[in-house]
Amino acid sequence: MRVLVIGNGAREHAIVWKLSQDKNISEIFAIPGNAGIAQIAKCIEEKMDNIQGIIDIAKEYKIDWTIVGPELPLSLGIVDIFEKEGLKIWGPNKEGAKLEYSKAFAKEIMKTSKIPTAEFKIFDSFSSAVEFVKKTSYPLVIKADGLCGGKGVKIAESYESAVQILHEYMINKIFGPSGEKVVIEEYLEGKEFSLIAIIKNGDFYFLPSAQDYKRVGEGNTGENTGGMGSFSPVPWINEEILKKCEKNIFRPLLDELTKRNINYQGFLYGGLILVRNEPYVLEFNVRLGDPEAQVILPLLNFNFTDILYRTNFPWLSDKKALCVVLASKGYPGNYETGKEIIFKNINFQNLYIFHAGTVKRNGKILTSGGRVLSVTSWGENFKEIRERVYNAIDEIYFENKYYRKDIGIELI
């Protein structure tokens, strides 16, 4: 089987790495890939928003199955277009992907299907939104409706900060059309976690729970990012909580999608929060999380291609995994790229380095993005795993390297 992976991040590197262990697969291709992916797959230059170009490549290379990593191609309807061409692809269609590319749509779905979530209001008028935040209590959460690369959610602690955020989104349009509509919701206090399911034939199968670290600064301070680290599974997520997630969140959502004639298949990411031992939804995403994929995939005992044929997916692993993201200093704001990455004396036993913002030029691996590498380890206990990760980080060098030093500290 010849498989194509779309994407260029550490999540896609983790997918390619997992695929490379599958005996059913003869060749792996990636669009566009990165320097790490290029070590185990053939990378092909093409823009991820050029769907026709991707289809032409899939036909040219006789691809049997395509896996979509990031949300952008899904939001553009790549699955619908592939299926019209008779090409096999893994991911939700455009209507299903709306759960991620429109936070307003997702909240309305949750309200209709009585899924536990924060109280909210939706605004497409700056003046109406400002009038609302005059009267509400704080803190509150302001979300840009569309795709913003994980940076479109901010917490307002006061009326002044709320107006500033709304002005940035709706007037200055720092996220373009994605911020023209906003969701303003109550702030929920609790423990956050990620729960990702395989959705197939109207049913779902949970992958190991995970927790990521969204804030750029230690102690969960600073700006939101795409994720600075993660671990899996989450020790305090037990069977009782998983059953509540099944009964109160995932099943009602799928039932509502079915009522709307939306045939969802692919991964479904629940960004959840436990409030007084009850799971609430913060957001839905329509793909594997990043950096969650980097800690979940090493724990799975089934092959990726099993998704095509199997009807259940027991991961049956008692291992644990932890990941720390190495970023370019300045991320998620302005940062420099083109810095050479040097790997020294790294012990790769139960450890792997997934590439994100990297490129290979003139025989050197250089930084090319905000999040550069995900250093991941797995094993029997978090203390040893964490030590392996941070020991490896000490052996990786590039100018302006930045990372959080407190990832997983609560586990030891």
Per-residue pLDDT tens digits for 388-405: 999 999 999 999 999 999
* CA of residue 106 relative to chain centroid, distance: 16
Q: Are 173 and 199 members of one domain?
A: no
Provide the pLDDT for residue 334: 95
Residue 380 inside a domain? The answer is: yes
Q: If you average pLDDT over residues 306-311, what whole number do you get?
A: 82
Q: Report residue 95's pLDDT band, with 50, 70 and 90 as the boundaries.
A: very high
Q: Are 210 and 279 members of one domain?
A: yes
Percent of the chain with pLDDT over 90: 92
Residue 284 inside a domain? The answer is: yes
- Counting the structural domains of the chain, the total is 4
Q: Are 336 and 301 members of one domain?
A: no
Residue 136 inside a domain? The answer is: yes
Distance in angstroms (rounded) separating the CA atoms of residues 153 and 151: 6
Residue 116 inside a domain? The answer is: no
Q: Are 81 and 140 members of one domain?
A: no
pLDDT tens profile 78-88: 999 999 999 99
Q: Are 170 and 201 members of one domain?
A: no
Q: Using CB atoms within 10 Å of the CB of residue 352, give its burial: 0 to 12 exposed, 13 to 18 middle, 19+ buried.
A: buried
Q: ∠248-252-254 over CA atoms, to 5°?
A: 135
Last residue of a domain, one of 135, 160, 180: 180
Of 272, 292, 275, the closest CA to residue 283 belongs to 272
Q: Are 153 and 84 members of one domain?
A: no
- CATH number, residue 10: 3.40.50.20
Q: Report residue 385's pLDDT band, with 50, 70 and 90 as the boundaries.
A: very high
Residue 254 inside a domain? The answer is: yes
Provide the pLDDT for residue 38: 98
Q: Are 215 and 298 members of one domain?
A: yes
Residue 399 inside a domain? The answer is: yes
Provide the residue range defining the domain that includes 385.
320-411
Residue 315 inside a domain? The answer is: no
Residue 118 inside a domain? The answer is: no
Q: If you average pLDDT over residues 158-166, what whole number do you get?
A: 96
- CATH number, residue 136: 3.30.1490.20
Residue 109 clears pLDDT 80, i.e. is over it:
yes
Q: If you average pLDDT over residues 92-97, what whole number do you get?
A: 97
Provide the pLDDT for residue 303: 87
Provide the pLDDT for residue 189: 94
Q: Are 137 and 208 members of one domain?
A: no
The encoded tokens of residue 155 equal 């917490």
Of 229, 181, 203, the closest CA to residue 327 belongs to 229
- CATH number, residue 228: 3.30.470.20
Q: If you average pLDDT over residues 186-208, what whole number do you get?
A: 94
pLDDT tens profile 7-31: 999 999 999 999 999 999 999 999 9
Q: If you average pLDDT over residues 142-159, what whole number do you get?
A: 91
Residue 314 clears pLDDT 80, i.e. is over it:
no
Task: Judge whether 92 and 286 are in contact, CB under 8 Å.
Answer: yes
Residue 317 clears pLDDT 80, i.e. is over it:
no
Provide the pLDDT for residue 201: 87
The phi, psi pair for 269, rounded to 5°, reads -100, 120
**Residue 119 CB partners (closer than 8 Å, separation 6+):** 185, 186
pLDDT tens profile 16-70: 999 999 999 999 999 999 999 999 999 999 999 999 999 999 999 999 999 999 9
Residue 310 clears pLDDT 80, i.e. is over it:
no
Percent of the chain with pLDDT over 70: 100
**Residue 136 CB partners (closer than 8 Å, separation 6+):** 184
pLDDT tens profile 252-291: 999 999 999 999 999 999 999 999 999 999 999 999 999 9
User: What is the model's pTM?
Assistant: 0.95
Q: If you average pLDDT over residues 370-376, what whole number do you get?
A: 98
Q: Are 210 and 303 members of one domain?
A: yes
Task: Judge whether 211 and 321 are in contact, CB under 8 Å.
Answer: no
Q: Report residue 315's pLDDT band, with 50, 70 and 90 as the boundaries.
A: confident
Provide the pLDDT for residue 389: 98
Q: What is the dihedral of CA 73, 76, 78, 84, to 10 degrees?
A: 180
Of 367, 382, 10, 402, the closest CA to residue 222 belongs to 402
Last residue of a domain, one of 279, 309, 339: 309
Last residue of a domain, one of 248, 277, 309: 309
Provide the pLDDT for residue 35: 98
Average pLDDT, the chain: 95
Q: Report residue 176's pLDDT band, with 50, 70 and 90 as the boundaries.
A: very high
